[in-house]
Amino acid sequence: MTAYEVTLNKEPCDGIFACLTRDPRFVEDDDGLATIDPDGDPIYDGDGEVREENGTVIASFDDERIEEARQAAAACPVNAITVEEVDQ
């Protein structure tokens, strides 16, 4: 398995939601912008941890779905998403 962090900077997010079609852990937040919710994906059964700091959503995962997160980041037209592998 791969440990990785997904960071979503909400300031440049413009609600295009290209990320939602690449990784179902991305969902629409109450503010009309994207956020990350591991429980928003009906097939995800891991223990994702999500926190928000100063308008940035940071999610930590330890699973085999890093490629989906990378696809979501690549699809974001405003480059608001980054994905980084982290040490366990």
Q: How far apart are CA 44 and CA 21, in angstroms?
A: 15
Token digits for 36? 């990350």
Amino acid of residue 18: A
What are the structural domains, with CATH classification, of the chain?
Answer: 2-85 (3.30.70.20)
Average pLDDT over residues 53-65: 94
| pLDDT tier for residue 83 given thresholds of 50, 70 and 90 | very high
**Dihedrals phi, psi of 75, to nearest 5 degrees:** -80, -15
| Region 82-88 average pLDDT | 92
- Which uninterrupted H or E stretch holds 71? helix 66-75
Q: Is the pLDDT of residue 39 over 90?
A: no
Q: What is the pLDDT of residue 33?
A: 95
Alpha carbon distance 18, 76 (integer Å): 6
Question: Higher model confidence: residue 80 or residue 2?
Answer: 80
Q: State the pTM of this model.
A: 0.91
Distance CA 66, CA 5 (A): 9
